[in-house]
Amino acid sequence: MLIDTHIRPALFAPICGDAARFERRCDEMNFHLMKPSPLPLLKKQYALADIRKAALLPEDCSAETGTPAISNDEIAALVALEPDFFLGLAAVDPRRADACQELERAFTTLGLRGLVVNTARLKMYPGDPRLLPLYDLCRAHKKPILFHAGLCLEKDALAKYARPVEFEEVVAAYPEVNICLAHMGWPWVQETAALLLKYPNLYANTALMNFDGPYQIYHKVFREEMGEYWLEHNIAGQVMFGSDSPRIRPVRAKRGLDSIAMDPETREKVYWRNAAKFFGLEGLCDEI
């Protein structure tokens, strides 16, 4: 069983009805030559990896682009189609005049379960004062924050704003908030591991398909860039499965992780227990 903490629903057919909007979204998020997929087909693909729940990540740089690439309302609409399967997250461009109201609406009216922030796309550092009111709202609502961390393959994004060490002040300042550095902060994996070691409210996900295939990249990250026992003995309670679909199909990401030796308890944590803890779903997941 798995919880996928990192799916970008850019190609989900129910939100791809407007062809011009779909094209703009794909251009902004750097997805090309691919068609929208119907939900039943996507769910069959997720079932191949035994995914039981999947977090959907929106994208809002609307202060630059005029409209979110994937809006909170679109995420909520997708969750409404499969409420037991999808976990919807919110995104708000902090440069919007109504940023706090929109995040409040996303949490209270739309029922979204956390905040996604991509500082590489926003071109602002994680400690930028414009972001702090959004973090305060997450603290007030007891919602987690998932930061894009490390290299961002999207158009017009700069990795320097998302280097793992840049997140330390925020992680330290919000100890009550569960915070995830996505993609293990790749390529700065050791920085991410170091922060995980120190901060118990910090998590990371495995959505790091960049070089090579899944068998090679996970070995490189978890067996070469990190010491052999770092995951198993030190940070087993903080690493969560994430596929980064549609950049890689979840079943392939899972096969890559399956090839990394770990004891069954650690694998269970990485595959779903840590995500259940991160999203506050412990009771829910025991029923799956």
Partner 1 sequence: MKFKLKEVPICANKEFEMLRITDEVRDYVAESGVENGVVFVITEHTTTGITVNESLPCVEKDLMEMLDRAAPEDYPYHHNHYLRSYGTIGGNAPGHLKSLLTGNHCVFPVVEGRVKLGSAADIYFCEYDGIKNRKYMIYVMGE
- Using CB under 8 A as the binding rule, whether residue 36 contacts partner 1 is answered as no
Residue 175: both structure tokens together: 């100890």
Q: Cα dihedral sign for 27, 145, 206, 77?
A: negative
Decide if residue 30 touches partner 1 (CB under 8 A): yes
Under the binding rule (CB under 8 A), the answer on residue 214 touching partner 1 is yes
Q: Could you give the CA distance from residue 203 to residue 181 in angstroms, rounded to a whole number?
A: 6
- Would you count residue 190 as binding partner 1 (CB under 8 A)? no
Residue among 238 and 245 whose Cβ is closer to partner 1:
245
CB of 204 to partner 1, least distance (A): 19
State which of residues 50, 259, 263, 282 lies at the interface with partner 1 (CB under 8 A).
Answer: 259
Nearest distance from residue 240's CB to partner 1, in Å?
Answer: 20
Does residue number 211 form part of the binding site for partner 1 (CB under 8 A)?
Answer: yes
Structure tokens at 24: 């703009």
Q: For partner 1, which residue of 17, 19, 20, 33 counts as binding (CB under 8 A)?
A: 33
Q: Select the residue interacting with partner 1 from 67, 108, 109, 216 (CB under 8 A).
A: 216
Q: What is the C-alpha separation between 208 and 242, in angstroms, rounded?
A: 8
Stretch that binds partner 1, among 50-58, 67-75, 109-117, 210-218 (CB under 8 A): 210-218
Q: Which stretch binds partner 1 (CB under 8 A): 81-89, 92-100, 206-214, 280-288?
A: 206-214
Residue from 18, 23, 41, 64 touching partner 1 (CB under 8 A): that is 41
Q: Is 82 in the site for partner 1 (CB under 8 A)?
A: no
Binding site for partner 1 (CB under 8 A): 29-34, 38, 41, 44-45, 48, 153, 209-216, 246-249, 251-252, 255, 259
